[in-house]
Structure 1
Amino acid sequence: MRLTFDPEVEEFRAEFAAFLAEHAPEEAEAAERPRSSSHIPEWARRWQRLMFDEGWLLPGNPPEFGGRDATLLQQYVHLEEMAARKMYHSFNPQGLGIIAASLLSFGTEEQKRRWVVPILRAEITASLGMSEPGAGSDLASLRTRAVLEGDHFTVNGQKVWTSGAHDADVLLTFVRTDPDAPKHKGISVLLIPTDTPGLTRRPFGSIAGRDDLDFNEVFFEDVRVPKENLVGGLNDGWRVANGSLGHERNMLWLHFATRLEEQVRDFRPATELDRDWYATLVMDAQALRLMGSAALARAARGEQDVAALSVLKLFGSEAAQKAAERTLEAQGAEGLYPTPTGPYAHLNLDVFITGWFERYARSFGGTIAGGTSEIQRTVIAERVLGLPRG
């Protein structure tokens, strides 16, 4: 394997690095922090807008959607440069990485104009309404109901774990539109503005503390949604869901690889036990980087390998969780104090993390978001090992 890139890819990297060096906001400018994953401070809105206008927000997109038609390898080095600086595209990650991407894949031209461009330009923010009290990982069990009545849908039901919903302008919401169809086939997707009468959002705390208000319960009571806000076809929501989750996990392994490599650089083993674990950490980081690079090379050749993404997501999320746990143990009481921030911390998406305990607590989200570890094991069992469905 040759872990290098062609000259044109490196030229692309150098151009982006020069843009960051010239335009990245200074720490003093970026003093205001976001309240949630759907709240973007004004300075960050300006920064995201500049990235969009210059084609650096999502370079794989066409220019009218904040990109420059970059190749897959160019997109990868773009992410590498961001990760090396602990920088992220947006403080509304699900808006960019899931919702706008899903609308580009499944939305109408009018929906792209009305919703995608404002989301990408940080003029509005978006949250994802999938999980329900009785339908977490099993989306097909959702019960939030939408009834088509002439020119609108009437929605009733509840969502939960809806990150950033209390600060979002719109929810991409999965609803049941045909209760008599098989559970995978009766689902549709609606764009629901959060100021619609009958929609109530209630934020609640997490394991990181009661003041960590990102999760929400969302209640729908006779919420009227225009028919033109249907994304994809009626009862075609399962296809949209698969596309949405695919956008979320596409290069998720790079996030976990970067996390592991940070700990390789920062952790200093003091005992024999620490050294043994440190060797495991180094091997995990190297293995994830190599497996991810192989998957990237296959994707660049146009080969589809869904199972490889499941292997990477499972291995990466669980290795990062184990690494955070062992680091917290090794640090003892010191692990409860803030970690070093670094020169780009003001642009870091992990704005609420103030110590190794919180990093460990939040690592559980990595084994859930983008498909739980249990789901990934099922995919691997069926598609890699060839085991029968059980």
Structure 2
Amino acid sequence: MKLTFDADVEEFRAEFVAFLDANLPTEAEAGERPRSSAHVPEWARRWQRLQFDNGWLLPGNPPEFGGRNASILQQYVHLEELAKRRIYHSFNPQGLGIIAASLLSFGTEEQKRDWAARILRAEITAALGMSEPGAGSDLAGLRTRAVLDGDHFVVNGQKVWTSGAHDADVLLTFVRTDPDAPKHQGISVLLVPTDTPGVTRRPFASVCAEDDLDFNEVFFTDVRVPAANLVGELNQGWRVATGSLGHERTLLWLSFSDRLQDLLEDFRPVTELDRDHYATLVMDAQALRLLGSRALAREARGEQDVASLSVLKLLGSEAVQNAAEHALTAAGSGGLMHPNTTAPYTPWNLDNFSSSWFERYVRSFAGTIAGGTSEIQRTIVAERVLGLPRS
């Protein structure tokens, strides 16, 4: 098999490459690093707006939302070129990939204009309020309540693991609006500005580093949210939730493929066992790329295969984790040390050139949790790919 693209896709790629060559921020311009996944330094805001204005932010979107109505294959080569340079089109990934995308799918025209467009233009940043202390992977178990009171909802409850919440301007928040409905029903979605009275955000460190403040606890105490901030229909939030995660997963396998390739380039096998592990990981990387390409071709033909995304997510996230684990084991105690690298600092290199193998290993667990845990993916594969009974 030879994987190639038609002339129109390669012309699209060449145009984007020319844009990058002419407009990428220099190291001097881009000195400030983001401090969380919802903190976008001013230089990065300018970079994101430039992409938006030229249709390169999310090419699959219409022009008024930062794109150029690109095909799925054109969107693929766009991400491929970004990955080659290890650069980001936004430092608020959940804002673009989940929240703005969900608003464009389920929001009103006013929400698209007042919230989605501003997120895409980096005028504001957003965080995703899904997980709770008792409802992590099981979103349907959430308890945060919202009661309609006139033209406002009154919200009470708590979220946790809310990445970037302390720097975000708005939270896409999943709440229970009908406590008597079955578990997967009675859920609604609200846009909650973080400066609303009663919203408290508490960032906390991760296992990776004490200064890695991205996770948050978020508390809602009698928070009044305009009813106009309801996204989608009342009590139909599960539909928004599955759509939100669908946006996150569509080309997620490509990011795992790129991360796996980065790990393989940095890992140097020494012993026979190291070489055996390395060969397995190379095969995993090739399998992921080929399976992803097949899924991409199906989507380009207009065929829907949601279950295949679970296969790709499961394979990609666990292959990255296995690669990091083997590299850490091979490095021994040296895996706890920061690598001695001559690679130049750039603001794009947030992980690889500044992290020990231990840090890269523990960070890999995010990939097997975010966007649906490996256990959830295995259930989907069992039922929808293998046809096994739910029991």
Q: Shared fold by TM > 0.5?
A: yes
Deviation of residue 352 (structure 1)? 9.8
The answer on whether the counterparts of 2:16 and 2:56 sit within 8 Å (CA) in structure 1 is yes
Deviation of residue 48 (structure 1)? 0.5
In the alignment, structure 1 residue 107 sits paired with structure 2 residue 107: yes
Alpha-carbon distance in structure 1 between the residues aligned to 2:290 and 2:218: 41
Structure 2 residue identity aligned to 1:130: M
Deviation of residue 211 (structure 1)? 1.7
Alpha-carbon distance in structure 2 between the residues aligned to 1:100 and 1:73: 21
The answer on whether the counterparts of 1:86 and 1:344 sit within 8 Å (CA) in structure 2 is no
Alpha-carbon distance in structure 2 between the residues aligned to 1:244 and 1:253: 16
Partner of 2:250: 250
Deviation of residue 269 (structure 1)? 1.8
Partner of 1:158: 158
Aligned pairs for 1:78-89 (under 5 A) are 78-89=78-89
Structure 2 residue identity aligned to 1:149: D
Partner of 2:41: 41
Alpha-carbon distance in structure 1 between the residues aligned to 2:143 and 2:325: 36
Alpha-carbon distance in structure 2 between the residues aligned to 1:270 and 1:379: 38
Alpha-carbon distance in structure 2 between the residues aligned to 1:237 and 1:92: 23
Deviation of residue 310 (structure 1)? 0.4
The answer on whether the counterparts of 1:101 and 1:244 sit within 8 Å (CA) in structure 2 is yes
Comparing 329-338 with 307-316, greater Cα deviation is found at: 329-338
Deviations 1:13-61 (A, max 9, x none): 1111111111111112211111100000011001011010111000000
Describe the SS at the equivalent of 1:80.
helix
Question: 1:144 and 1:339, CA in 2 relative to 1: closer, same or farther beyond 3 A?
Answer: farther
In the alignment, structure 1 residue 142 sits paired with structure 2 residue 142: yes
Comparing 262-271 with 192-201, greater Cα deviation is found at: 262-271
Partner of 2:7: 7
Structure 1 residue identity aligned to 2:98: I
Alpha-carbon distance in structure 1 between the residues aligned to 2:235 and 2:109: 20
Comparing 347-356 with 246-255, greater Cα deviation is found at: 347-356
Describe the SS at the equivalent of 2:148.
strand
Comparing 261-270 with 274-283, greater Cα deviation is found at: 261-270
Describe the SS at the equivalent of 1:162.
coil
Question: 1:368 and 1:49, CA in 2 relative to 1: closer, same or farther beyond 3 A?
Answer: same
Alpha-carbon distance in structure 1 between the residues aligned to 2:89 and 2:340: 22
The answer on whether the counterparts of 2:343 and 2:353 sit within 8 Å (CA) in structure 1 is no
In the alignment, structure 1 residue 91 sits paired with structure 2 residue 91: yes
Describe the SS at the equivalent of 2:289.
helix
Alpha-carbon distance in structure 1 between the residues aligned to 2:38 and 2:340: 24
Deviation of residue 344 (structure 1)? 8.1
Structure 1 residue identity aligned to 2:380: V
Deviations 1:134-158 (A, max 9, x none): 0111111100000001100000000
Partner of 1:388: 389
Structure 1 residue identity aligned to 2:170: V
5+ unaligned residues in a row in structure 1: which ranges?
none
Structure 2 residue identity aligned to 1:369: A
Aligned pairs for 1:231-270 (under 5 A) are 231-270=231-270
In the alignment, structure 1 residue 347 sits paired with structure 2 residue 354: no
Deviation of residue 261 (structure 1)? 1.6
Question: 1:248 and 1:187, CA in 2 relative to 1: closer, same or farther beyond 3 A?
Answer: same
> Where has structure 1 moved over 6 Å in runs of 4 or more?
none
Alpha-carbon distance in structure 2 between the residues aligned to 1:187 and 1:16: 41
Deviation of residue 354 (structure 1)? 2.2
Alpha-carbon distance in structure 2 between the residues aligned to 1:103 and 1:2: 38
Q: Percent identity?
A: 78
Deviations 1:151-174 (A, max 9, x none): 000000000000000000000000
Describe the SS at the equivalent of 1:137.
coil
Alpha-carbon distance in structure 1 between the residues aligned to 2:156 and 2:343: 46
The answer on whether the counterparts of 1:90 and 1:349 sit within 8 Å (CA) in structure 2 is no
In the alignment, structure 1 residue 358 sits paired with structure 2 residue 342: no
Describe the SS at the equivalent of 1:346.
coil
Question: Number of aligned pairs?
Answer: 390
Partner of 2:375: 374
Partner of 1:331: 331
Question: 1:86 and 1:148, CA in 2 relative to 1: closer, same or farther beyond 3 A?
Answer: same
Deviation of residue 110 (structure 1)? 0.2
Alpha-carbon distance in structure 2 between the residues aligned to 1:299 and 1:374: 25
Comparing 206-215 with 260-269, greater Cα deviation is found at: 260-269
The answer on whether the counterparts of 2:339 and 2:353 sit within 8 Å (CA) in structure 1 is no
Aligned pairs for 1:188-207 (under 5 A) are 188-207=188-207
Deviation of residue 8 (structure 1)? 0.8
Comparing 140-149 with 203-212, greater Cα deviation is found at: 203-212
The answer on whether the counterparts of 1:212 and 1:352 sit within 8 Å (CA) in structure 2 is no
Partner of 2:173: 173
Partner of 1:25: 25
Describe the SS at the equivalent of 1:330.
helix
Describe the SS at the equivalent of 1:322.
helix
Alpha-carbon distance in structure 2 between the residues aligned to 1:355 and 1:32: 22
The answer on whether the counterparts of 2:203 and 2:215 sit within 8 Å (CA) in structure 1 is yes
Deviation of residue 348 (structure 1)? 4.2
Partner of 2:66: 66
Comparing 335-344 with 78-87, greater Cα deviation is found at: 335-344
The answer on whether the counterparts of 2:351 and 2:360 sit within 8 Å (CA) in structure 1 is no
Deviations 1:302-322 (A, max 9, x none): 111111110100011001001
Alpha-carbon distance in structure 1 between the residues aligned to 2:213 and 2:345: 24
Alpha-carbon distance in structure 2 between the residues aligned to 1:92 and 1:181: 34
The answer on whether the counterparts of 1:85 and 1:344 sit within 8 Å (CA) in structure 2 is no
The answer on whether the counterparts of 1:173 and 1:190 sit within 8 Å (CA) in structure 2 is yes
Alpha-carbon distance in structure 1 between the residues aligned to 2:238 and 2:346: 38
The answer on whether the counterparts of 1:34 and 1:351 sit within 8 Å (CA) in structure 2 is no
Alpha-carbon distance in structure 1 between the residues aligned to 2:346 and 2:32: 12
Alpha-carbon distance in structure 1 between the residues aligned to 2:211 and 2:161: 15
Deviation of residue 265 (structure 1)? 2.8
Structure 2 residue identity aligned to 1:151: D
